[in-house]
Every structure is written in C-alpha cells, then in structure tokens.
Amino acid sequence: MQRQGFNRTAVILHWLLAVSIFFLFISSWWMMGLPLPSPELQFRAFPFQLHKNIGITLVIIIFMLLYVRLRHRPAPVDSTLMTPSMNALSILVHVLIYGLVLAVCVTGYMSSAHTRWDTVWWWSIEFPRIAAPDEEMNEFWGELHTYVAWALLGIVAVHVSGAIYHAFRNDGIVRRMMRW
C-alpha cells in the first residue's frame, strides 16, 4: 500500500536541505566580503569552516533523502493533475537538483582540498589531505563551485515556482511534501 505523500523522514530531510542550501548561499555572499586572512585577521576562519561543515553534511543528507525516497516511494501523482510534459519537467528538475547539490558539494570540497587550510568536520573529525596546496587547482575548482552554485540557484527557483504554482491551484501536489 502506497501513501499519497512522501515519507515523513523524506519531508524532514527535504526541508533541512532547503534551509541549509539557502544558509550556505546567504552566508557565502557575506563571508566573501570579509577581509582576506592574515595572522592578525581571522574573520573568515569560522564562517568558512562552518560552510565546509554544512556542505559535507549536505552530501550525507542528500544520500539519506535519496535512500528514503527510493525505499518509500509515494503513489504517483494523479494524471489529471499534471500533464505528461509537466511531469517530465518535474522529474528533470528533481534530478538536476540532486545532481547539482552533489556537484556543488564536491567542487567546493575539491577547491578547499587544494588550499593550505585543513578540513576538520564540525571541528572534530579531521579529513585526510587528498591533495597538496595548489593555487591553480584551487582556483579551477573554486570557479566551478561558483558556476554550479549559480546553476543550482536557478533550478531551485524553477522548483519553488512549481511548488507555488501547485499551491495556487490547490491541487494537493505540494501537500505531498508537507506532511508533519
């Protein structure tokens, strides 16, 4: 027997992911405006480490979400509520969001891995170095991280627009992801 809506764990993970993604965007715009690090100026240390902590955690969350969604699949949407093209667009947007979140996290980690700063996840688990500091590689992955992040923001805007569209139609589709 299938439920109409998503599994409650999937709902909680989805909204946790949403808040984290927006926090990472907003905090990154602010932290990039902080003074460059020097022995006397360490404004960037905490926000950058927090950014990495949340980014790495997002990878775990997204795999958990994928697992829960695949294990507890909700009933398909009533075909009278969505045209086949809308349904295809919805699937494409979801796949892109998952892919881009992973890509943002991986490119961010790769950029960080090529700096002289170590990664200590939530200030307790030290990640082994996977690369020596390399300014060129840091820049390459950093730029990729930025572009993928912009793409993610664009796709999230499409996703949010879709949710609002269905809320205005009051067709019950958004309710699938809002089960508390």
Partner 1 sequence: MVSEGLNNNSPSWASILGVVAIMLGVFLTAVHSNEAMKQMVIVEHMPVSGIMPEADCPEDELEEEGISVAECEYLIDHVKGIAMSAPDWFPSAQATLSLVGAALAFVSIIIGGALVNYTPWASKAAVAVFTGLAAIDLLQFAAVVNTGPTLREVYLGGILLWFVLHLMLLVGAVAGRHTEASA
**Which is nearer to partner 1, 5 or 55 (by Cβ)?**
5
d(CA 84, CA 80): 10
Using CB atoms within 10 A of its CB, is residue 177 exposed (0-12), middle (13-18) or buried (19+)? middle
What CA–CA distances, in Å, run from 149 to 14, 99, 122? 18, 11, 22
d(CA 136, CA 85): 43
Q: Tell me how far, at minimum, the Cβ of 174 lies from partner 1, in Å.
A: 6
**Which is nearer to partner 1, 75 or 91 (by Cβ)?**
75
What are the beta bridge partners of residue 120? 126
**Which is nearer to partner 1, 36 or 70 (by Cβ)?**
36
- Residues lying near partner 1 in the complex (CB under 8 A): 1-5, 11, 15, 18-19, 22-23, 25-27, 30, 32-38, 40-43, 45-47, 50, 75, 135, 138-139, 142, 160, 163-164, 167-168, 170, 172, 174-176, 178-180
**Which is nearer to partner 1, 45 or 60 (by Cβ)?**
45
Residue in the structure block whose two tokens are 């979400």: 65
Q: Tell me how far, at minimum, the Cβ of 83 lies from partner 1, in Å.
A: 20
